[in-house]
Amino acid sequence: MTKRKIGGLAIFTLALGAIAAMPLLSSAARSSTPVTIVNNSSRDIRHVYFSPTNQDNWGPDQLNNSVIGAGATASVDSSCTGADVKVIAEDQDGCFLYKVVTCGQSTTWTITNDASRDCGN
């Protein structure tokens, strides 16, 4: 075989391998992350957001104008692309609570009155 044919065959083989691997890479990169939020505090949870752990650009509100009242439970589900995702809950006072969960694993987050809140102070 000539060098030109070997080079062309090598490029074709690499391209074919990359195309074949694309579905595997895309399914591994995105996973579903269900989170059950148990509100054992005396405050209503007004909003829930997901964010990459190393960023502050939150996604849309997962509650869609619903509220997790005191003593209530709600489940939210989001897809994520990293190893972990940050879940942010905003209470009735505009204060935030955070929890980092592992992507692809079902998690229960119980919020109590003792939870540390970020109220911007």
- Note the pLDDT tens digit of each residue in 69-79: 999 999 999 88
Tokens 């009155």, located at residue: 113
- What pLDDT digit, counting tens, does each position of 54-70 carry? 888 899 999 998 999 99
pLDDT on residue 22: 46
Q: Which fold has domain 31-112?
A: Immunoglobulin-like (2.60.40)
What's the one-letter identity of residue 97?
A: L
- Average pLDDT (34-60) is 93
Query: What is the pTM (predicted TM-score) of this model?
Result: 0.72
pLDDT on residue 57: 85
pLDDT on residue 26: 42
Q: Nearest CA to 76 among 56, 93, 99, 54?
A: 99
For residue 47, pLDDT beyond 70: yes
- Average pLDDT (9-32) is 55
Q: Which whole-number Å values give the CA distances from 29 to 13, 52, 85, 96, in the listed order?
A: 24, 13, 13, 28
Domain ranges of the chain: 31-112
What average pLDDT does the structure give for the chain?
83
